[in-house]
Structures are given as structure tokens and as C-alpha cells.
Amino acid sequence: MPGTTDLLSGSPNWPVVVLMSPNDPRYTESEYESGKVIREDVECSPCQLKTCPTDRRCMTMIIPEKVVQTCASGK
């Protein structure tokens, strides 16, 4: 079954930027080149947990400037 990234990046004209939190990118990677993953390499990730037992650093360390830069550059 395709993941969200696969569904959204199915068209080469639809670039997709995914903020990767506790998920393992190996299980959610898209085979389409238009999909870009932003993630921070933290010691507790990928945990695959729905509720964070610590401080959600996998998400809070993704700074808005990095998201904007990735969206603007397409890289």
C-alpha cells in the first residue's frame, strides 16, 4: 500500500517536502525524485512511537528556515 509521500509525489510536477519525525525514512521513502525528506538525526529516532516520552526533539530541532530553504530550492 502506498504511503502519503508516494500518493503526493506521484506526479513529477508535484514536489513534496516531508517533515520526518519518529518514523524511519527507510519505510516511508518515495521512489519519486520530487519527494524531499527533512529530518534531524537524534539519538532516539526512529522510535516509531505515537507519543514522545521525552521532548519531541526529532520535530523541534527542524527549524523553519530549513523547511523554507528546502521548499524554495527544491533540494
pLDDT in tens, the chain (75 residues): 455 555 555 556 677 888 888 888 777 665 656 678 899 989 998 898 989 999 999 999 999 999 999 999 865
- The answer to whether 9 touches 49, Cβ cutoff 8 Å, is no
Total number of domains in the chain: 1
Name the pTM for this structure.
0.67
Q: Domain span at residue 61?
A: 4-73
Give just the sign of the alpha carbon dihedral 27, 33, 34, 40. positive
Nearest to 37, CA basis, from 24, 51, 50: 24
DSSP, collapsed to helix, strand or coil, labels residue 6 as: helix
Burial (CB count <10 Å: 0-12, 13-18, 19+), residue 52? middle
